[in-house]
A = this chain, B = another copy of it.
Amino acid sequence: MAVGNVAIPDTIYPIEGVKLSATAAGVRYKDRDDLVVLEIAETASCAVVTTKNTFCAAPVRVLREHFATHSPRYLVINTGNANAGTGADGKRRAQEICAALATKAGVDTQTVLPFSTGVIGEPLNSDAVIAGLDEALAGLAADKWLAAANGIRTTDTIPKIASQKVEVAGSCYHVTGISKGSGMIRPNMATMLGYVATDANIKADLLQEMLGQINEQSFNRITVDGDTSTNDCCVLIATGAASSEMIDSPEHPHYSAVFAALTEVFVRLAQLIVRDGEGATKFMTVKVTGGKVTQECCDVAYAVAHSPLVKTAFFASDANWGRILAAVGYAGIEDLDTEQVDVYLDEVMICQNGGVAPDYTEEAGKAVMSHPEITIHIDLARGDASDTVYTCDLSYDYVKINADYRS
């Protein structure tokens, strides 16, 4: 069961210039949508980030080649099979899918970007994907974001979708996005899969820069199990349909509002992945303040967020702050003065100056640990830098999900 507020937004704004479809192509399972296609208007800008895992999947290698020279017109996403660890044959299959879609749609093969998610190391049934393309193209429509969010699910228990409207200086922009992922989650430069579109008109190189920055606050700050996937990809599309006004620099009067709306959608989509983390029963925000530089705050936050001992303690609702301190201690800050470190669970100070806080009681610890959403705030008291990472606990069900199923 996903943790906390994972509601589908009341209003999902379509983005003019983007059409979607979801169909059941039978890639691995019968009778469930497993093929999603996005069509992007010719005038749109696109930005892409992909996994830093050197064992990146075949579709990631193909999409990097295509994106290097062409602006995308179609995204084609299959679930059920990641087409990873499949060598030259896997790359050929990814290319064949792009070529088949390009022929049917009358565009260049290089304007089609492939994405796959699912089991690693088995040959992708590319014939099934190709056979499903006619229905996928026929079904394209602007109002199918939710269907697409469902169509890209694998072990996800919920569809992940966020949508925002922002008005600035007489212009009205919309941002809508979807994501998927619940295990093998510790994105590095991108998450499992995320697709966000806006009708703002944003210059392509600025869009790529914005994606890089926003990604660092969203998909690159979540972890379920510390495992960086071979298939992580995130795409940001700006169709420009809402306005002829081109946002071409951070100084543009519309920039900040659009940046904020995009960030809100990205953070929501990233958090939804953690809320739906495999076996998750708690959503934890690990906030580290008082660092000398951001990187050390990030390192401490990830050390805590990855610690199996911290994660199992949260599963057990045990305010075992010793495990948090131990993780802070091995995060790699060699000159850390541990006698300055404070730790809070929400508003409850559990640890002051590296020891138990004088006013702390087990009762207060138990009360705060009973919440499904908890902020672990660690104050290093050595500077002004801060960073935040989102994670979930480690439960029996995490082991069950990953031991019982080949995923």
The answer to whether A322 and B82 touch across the interface, beta carbons within 8 angstroms, is: yes
Beyond A54-B334, A86-B355, A330-B188, whether A325 also contacts B399 by CB under 8 A is no
How far apart are the CA atoms of A328 and B55 in the complex, in Å?
8
The answer to whether B322 and A121 touch across the interface, beta carbons within 8 angstroms, is: yes
Please give, as numbers and ranges, the residues of chain B lying within 8 Å of A329 by CB-CB distance.
53-56, 228, 230
Segment 389-407 of A: residues with Cβ below 8 Å from B? 394-396, 398-400, 402-404, 406
The answer to whether B355 and A54 touch across the interface, beta carbons within 8 angstroms, is: no
The answer to whether B399 and A321 touch across the interface, beta carbons within 8 angstroms, is: no
The answer to whether B404 and A354 touch across the interface, beta carbons within 8 angstroms, is: no
Segment 302-332 of A: residues with Cβ below 8 Å from B? 306-309, 312-313, 315-316, 318, 320-323, 325-330
Residue interface bits A325-347, CB-to-B below 8 A is 1, else 0: 11111100110101101000000
How far apart are the CA atoms of A307 and B55 in the complex, in Å?
15
| Residue A183 CB within 8 A of the other chain | yes
| Residue A184 CB within 8 A of the other chain | yes
Task: Select one of B53, B309, B336 contacting A326, CB under 8 A.
Answer: B53
Please give, as numbers and ranges, the residues of chain B lying within 8 Å of A186 by CB-CB distance.
330
How many residues on A have C-beta within 8 angstroms of the other chain's C-beta atoms? Answer: 65
Please give, as numbers and ranges, the residues of chain B lying within 8 Å of A339 by CB-CB distance.
87
The answer to whether B399 and A399 touch across the interface, beta carbons within 8 angstroms, is: yes
Task: Select one of B53, B54, B402 contacting A312, CB under 8 A.
Answer: B402
| Residue A152 CB within 8 A of the other chain | no
| Residue A227 CB within 8 A of the other chain | yes
Nearest to A393 among chain B residues (CB) is B403
19 interchain pairs (CB within 8 A)? Answer: A53-B326, A53-B330, A54-B328, A55-B326, A55-B341, A55-B354, A84-B322, A87-B339, A119-B322, A120-B325, A120-B326, A186-B330, A225-B307, A226-B307, A227-B323, A228-B326, A313-B403, A318-B403, A395-B403
Please give, as numbers and ranges, the residues of chain B lying within 8 Å of A290 by CB-CB distance.
none
